[in-house]
Amino acid sequence: MLRRPGEAIPGLEWHHDRAVSETTTDLLRAAGFRATPQRQMVLQVLREANGRHLTADDVCRAVQDRYPSFNRSTTYRVLEMLSAIGLVQQTRLGDGVAHFEVVDHPDRHHHLVCVTCGKVQNVPAEVLGEISVRLAERHQFHIGTVDLMIRGQCAACRGRSG
């Protein structure tokens, strides 16, 4: 039951940038999967990250803080599965490492990455809506998903560099 990134999960309503269903168990079951303790723990860590982009190692360490015997390879398997079913978004932010975040809304977002300090800012997907439509029409191309990372310098770092 793999879903395309951004595809809504049947039976799960979305409201104000977060699922009406609050529990990790509900999210997994709504996606058609068993809510194993490992899946629940990984999903809970990502939900508690509050929009931060965690690496698999970050997730593993956070779970191990609570459950020291949690296996690193389990982290990778669970993250891969959660990404495949659309509950977690995997993003490459230019540092050679995959970053993960829980999908709080069926719309994806894009990223502005500061090359000086590494700060990541989320940009709503609708910002690219018009250009996506133009590209699709001009090139007679059906766009499935768009993953965009723009590298540059944030306002704080620009201010420091004078």
Interval 53-101: pLDDT, tens:
899 999 999 999 988 898 999 999 999 999 888 788 888 877 788 889 8
* The residue type at 79: L
Q: How far is CA 84 from CA 5, 30, 40, 90, in A?
A: 8, 14, 16, 9
Cβ-count burial of 149 within 10 angstroms (0-12 exposed, 13-18 middle, 19+ buried)? middle
Give the C-alpha separation, 140 to 18, whole Å: 34
Stretch 11-29: mean pLDDT, rounded? 51
Do residues 138 and 90 make contact, with C-beta atoms less than 8 angstroms apart? no
Tell me the whole-structure pTM to 2 decimals: 0.65
How many residues comprise the chain?
162
Quote the pLDDT of residue 11. 36
pLDDT tier, 18 (very low <50, low <70, confident <90, very high otherwise): very low
Task: Please determine, for residue 10, whether its predicted confidence score (pLDDT) is greater than 50.
Answer: no
* Per-residue pLDDT at 95: 78
Contact 91, 111 (CB under 8 A): yes
φ, ψ dihedrals at 100, nearest 5°: -130, 145
Domains and CATH numbers, the chain: 14-102 (1.10.10.10), 109-160 (3.30.1490.190)
Is pLDDT larger for residue 23 or for residue 160? 160
Q: Model confidence over 98-155: pLDDT tens digits?
A: 889 887 654 567 888 888 988 888 887 778 878 888 889 999 998 877 778 888 999 9
Task: Kindly give, in sequence order, each residue whose CB lies less than 8 Å from that of residue 74, ignoring residues fewer than 6 positions away.
Answer: 38
